[in-house]
Amino acid sequence: MSSALLWQVIRGGTCFTRRGLHGESFSSEAGNLKNKHCYKYSGVSNADAIDVSATEDAIALTVGRPKNANKPVASKKTQIIKKNARKALRSVGKQAASFRPDLKPAAQARAAALAKSLRVKKASKK
């Protein structure tokens, strides 16, 4: 099934769709970097989606592989990035630029926010 046809089916609403106070639509699906309910960022309708998420101590970059769309296990490839924040951002940017250049800024912004949340505060002396 083509991604455009799949989007036409799910654009009315799915279990991942959330409505905002002022009419905006949000989405909580995996692979949606901006959490906006639109075709460009949809992780369900696009076979070549990118997802940046946090593990316990690292950032996980998951990319979809369209050629294996009918094989659920092989359809996604996850890369764990355990570098410092600057190198992690560079790595995520390179991967996103080679895979989906239009999502590079969104992937880097998500990775920066996750890297900031994974940072451990230093204990202060009393």
Strand stretches in the chain, DSSP E = 17-19, 25-27, 50-54, 59-64, 76-81
* Residue range 86-114: mean pLDDT, rounded: 93
pLDDT at 52: 94
Pick the CATH number of 1-46 from 3.30.390.110, 3.30.390.50, 3.40.225.10, 3.40.1260.10: 3.30.390.110
Same CATH fold assignment for domains 1-46 and 54-117: yes
101 pLDDT tier (thresholds 50, 70, 90): very high
Question: In the chain, what are the domain boundaries?
Answer: 1-46, 54-117
pLDDT at 110: 94
Instruction: Residue 66: name the closest of 93, 42, 80, 46 by CA.
Output: 46
pLDDT at 46: 83
Pick the CATH number of 54-117 from 3.40.50.720, 3.30.390.110, 3.40.50.1980, 3.30.70.2190: 3.30.390.110
* Residue range 25-39: mean pLDDT, rounded: 89
Question: Is the pTM here over 0.85, yes or no?
Answer: no
pLDDT at 87: 92
Residue in the structure block whose two tokens are 């920066």:
112
pLDDT at 72: 78
